[in-house]
């Protein structure tokens, strides 16, 4: 059976899916047409129902819950791994509502977490996540919400953290931060859904067995990132929740739904 599968080129996703899409494990008759795209592109595609299986921001997953089901394996969820609000210099948090803020996509969990923390902030500029640091540096925006590997690079560029939105979430809710998950179309047979979930789990187990070695599939898609940053990225976003959301992970996702008013 052939299915379409979308995930990002970021190290956490390529690390998880490498063994599956490159048939380093037995796939039990399944094959995949893969699409590697920025998560906000995948979020937009999900609104159109474009792919069978896809990585999504949990915020986007809430919007397509009638069409897509969350799988147990493959999620990015944890503690101390949330998006950061950065600027060129310190800014009082009370002033954030009046500033222009770059966000990495309307449907991202980062945008949702920012909106929960700063409900009065309305001057948002949607940008590709990798462009936000430079937009802040150049003064195109007053501040920006950064995700992915930019957590490890913003200080090297002289930027400062105004608030860790993940810490805000954890302090407010007591829950781990639900960033993104793997979703499958609900009209796909239940037995297929379950088998795909198991294959993702097995693919990640295979990756962990060889870690900290990185495959060429991970390094080739990580572009200019050095291997230390790739491992920091994987260490931050791939964990026990990625193998199986479990009860704690499901509760965190439900809390996000509650806070989003869905």
The catalytic residues are 148
| 186 labelled binding-site residue | no
Asked if 104 and 165 touch (Cβ cutoff 8 Å), the reply is no
What's the CA gap between 195 and 155, in Å, rounded?
42
What's the CA gap between 247 and 162, in Å, rounded?
32
What's the CA gap between 54 and 227, in Å, rounded?
26
Tokens of 5: 């599968």
Contacts by 22-30 with C-beta closer than 8 Å and gap 24+? 22/217, 24/203, 24/206, 25/199, 25/202, 25/203, 25/206, 27/199, 28/195, 28/199, 29/1, 30/1, 30/2, 30/3, 30/195, 30/196, 30/199
| 109 labelled binding-site residue | yes
Tokens of 124: 């948002």
| 57 labelled binding-site residue | yes
| 4 labelled binding-site residue | no
- Classify strands 53-57 and 76-78 as parallel, antiparallel or unpaired: unpaired
| 110 labelled binding-site residue | yes
Q: Give the annotated binding-site residues.
A: 55-57, 109-110
Q: Give the annotated binding-site residues for substrate.
A: 55-57, 109-110
């Amino acid at each position: 059976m052939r299915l379409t599968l979308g995930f990002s080129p970021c190290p956490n996703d390529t690390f998880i899916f490498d063994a599956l899409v490159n048939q380093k494990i037995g796939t039990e008759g399944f094959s995949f047409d893969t699409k590697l795209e920025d998560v906000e592109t995948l979020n937009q595609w999900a609104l159109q129902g474009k792919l069978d299986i896809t990585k999504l921001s949990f915020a986007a997953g809430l919007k397509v819950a009638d069409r897509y089901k969350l799988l147990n394996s493959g999620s990015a969820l944890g503690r101390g791994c949330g998006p950061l609000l950065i600027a060129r210099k310190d800014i009082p948090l009370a002033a954030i509502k009046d500033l222009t803020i770059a966000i990495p996509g309307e449907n991202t969990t980062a945008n949702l977490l920012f909106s929960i923390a700063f409900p009065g902030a309305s001057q948002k500029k949607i940008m590709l996540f990798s462009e936000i640091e430079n937009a802040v540096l150049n003064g195109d925006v007053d501040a920006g919400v950064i995700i992915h590997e930019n957590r490890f690079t913003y200080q090297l560029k002289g930027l400062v953290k105004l608030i860790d939105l993940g810490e805000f979430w954890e302090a407010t809710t007591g829950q781990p931060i639900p960033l993104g998950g793997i979703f499958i179309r609900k009209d796909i047979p239940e037995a297929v859904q379950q088998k795909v979930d198991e294959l993702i789990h097995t693919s990640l187990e295979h990756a962990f067995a060889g870690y900290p070695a990185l495959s060429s599939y991970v390094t080739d898609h990580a572009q200019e990132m050095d291997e230390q940053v790739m491992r920091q990225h994987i260490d931050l976003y791939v964990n026990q929740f990625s193998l199986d959301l479990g009860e704690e992970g499901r509760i965190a996702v439900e809390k996000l739904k509650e806070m989003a008013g869905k």
